[in-house]
Chains A and B, each alone.
Chain A
Amino acid sequence: MGIDTPTSDGNTASRNEWPLWEIFIRGQHGLNHRHVGSLHAPDAEMAIKNARDVYTRRNEGVSIWAVEAQHIAASSPSDKGPLFEPAQSKVYRHPTFYDIPDEAGHM
């Protein structure tokens, strides 16, 4: 079950399938690693090799992370409201909340 895999009963993955890996790639420009998708591989080494072929055929990355999907903890969508609610009322955390007169110069 990956981070993108629902906990629905429809799953038939009971056979000897290679485990699922979630792949994260750092692009050219020093940005964070970003989730790009998943793939199946027998182990971490093969996951990285496969990720190179599946997700970086056009120079999309300079670094690859592979994490076995079962090790990723994810927030549940039904928590979405309560989990993120505290951030919603705190407008004063944004610079635009403050009115600084033009005379004070660029800030």
Chain B
Amino acid sequence: MYAQMVKSTGQGVKDPSEMTDQERAFQERIDRGDRIEPKDWMPEHYRKTLIRQIGQHAHSEIVGQLPEGNWITRAPTLERKAILLAKVQDEAGHGLYLYCAAETLGVSRDQLTEDLLSGKMKYSSIFNYPTLNWADMGAVGWLVDGAAIMNQVPLQRTSYGPYARAMVRICKEESFHQRQGYDIMMKMAKGTPAQKNMAQDALNRTWFPALMMFGPSDAESVHSAQSMAWKIKMNSNDELRQKFVNETVPQAEFLGLTVPDPDCKWNEEKGGYDFSEPDWSEFFDVIKGNGPCNTERLAARNKAWDDGKWVRDGLMAHAEKKEARRVAAE
């Protein structure tokens, strides 16, 4: 997902008998459905795992602007350009809500930024794939934002208050993102044969990377078990992936397009689609930094940070000067 393979820093779920009184009281609050707020006591592992998860989520929103930003100047109409601009601006906002939530856990904004820029912290694998043509704007909105929604909707009920509230804001905005993507796909799929081919090609290239967003199966993972006990992860990766496929395949059919998986078919018994696993070796390779665009994405973020330094410093100097003048006048 936007936060993939986040490892909790602990050893997995402790038995209540192994917990300290404080830990037990904390777990009971979570089991009751209480929200944990920044100044409440929390286990150090909970705090650290959340910083990783929320930080990675925030970085994904920010880096996620790049593949779509790539097409703003080349949108086919002024209306499409305005829409894409608004969508990309929303993603910047999502990043900011999430950085704020992470900061309440005692990490600074600059620290998070530096950890992204140095490659120490990750962002979602999906944003290391290129957007080659306009149809990709349709596929990204429809599939990538669609997959993000699957994960973000349940996170509105996550145990950490500031994270849950950020998710509520984000979810309100996300459905516009998916719909504008699907709208592009509809237009192209019902356009000329060449346009329809482009739409099919975009679906072909985006399908498996979108399935990878949910991360490999975590049914056996002790980290996921701990995160689920803490309610900072609400569903297993396989569960969300299945839900996504169930919703998406009929949408592709409506477009007259075909999901690029010959084994994808309805399974009456389980009430869902059977489908092929993505190539997980590709996924791990992308995570390691070897995807088609990893270098480009990090370079773009580093350049933006370096090029913006004079603005950050200048505005700060201006604010300090103004404040000094105000104090002198008093």
Which residues of chain B are near A46, meaning CB under 8 Å? Answer: 315, 319
A18 and B39 contact, Cβ closer than 8 Å, known pairs A4-B104, A39-B96: no
Q: Please tell me if the beta carbons of A39 and B106 are within 8 angstroms of each other in the complex.
A: no
A4-25 vs B: 1/0 string, CB under 8 Å? 1111111111111110100000
Residues in chain B near residue A4, CB distance under 8 A:
37-39, 104, 162
Known: A5-B106, A43-B322. 16 other contacts (CB 8 A): A4-B37, A5-B38, A8-B105, A11-B108, A12-B107, A13-B109, A16-B316, A18-B312, A37-B97, A42-B316, A43-B323, A53-B93, A57-B90, A76-B39, A77-B39, A77-B41
* Number of A residues, CB within 8 Å of B: 31
Interface pair B106/A10, CB less than 8 Å apart: yes
CA distance in complex: A38, B319 (Å): 19
CB distance from A61 to the nearest CB of B (A): 13
- Chain B residue nearest in CB terms to A20: B103
* Cβ-based interface call for B267 (8 A): no
A40 on interface, CB distance cutoff 8 Å: yes
Q: How many Å lie between the Cα of A12 and that of B112 in the bound state? A: 10
- The smallest C-beta distance from B85 to any residue of chain A, in angstroms, reads 11
Question: Inside 8 A of A43's CB, which chain B residues have their CB?
Answer: 315, 318-319, 322-323
Does A42 lie within 8 Å of B104, measured CB to CB?
Answer: no
A14 to chain B minimum Cβ distance, whole angstroms, is 8
> When chains A and B are docked, how far (Å) is the Cα of A74 from the Cα of B107?
20
In the complex, residue of chain A having the shortest beta-carbon distance to the beta carbon of B86: A57
Interface SS of chain B: helix
For chain A, what secondary structure do more than half of its interface residues adopt (helix, strand, loop), or is it mixed? Answer: loop
B-chain residues with CB within 8 Å of residue A77 when the two chains form the complex: 37, 39-41
* C-alpha gap A65/B23 in the complex (Å): 38
Tell me, in angstroms, the Cα distance from A1 to B106 when the chains sit together. Answer: 9
Task: Give the Cβ gap from B122 to chain A, nearest Cβ, in Å.
Answer: 19
Closest 4 CB pairs of A and B: A10-B106, A13-B108, A43-B319, A42-B319
Measured between alpha carbons, how far is A20 from B104 in the docked complex, in Å? 11
B111 within 8 A of A: yes
Interface assignment of B290: CB less than 8 Å from any CB of chain A: no
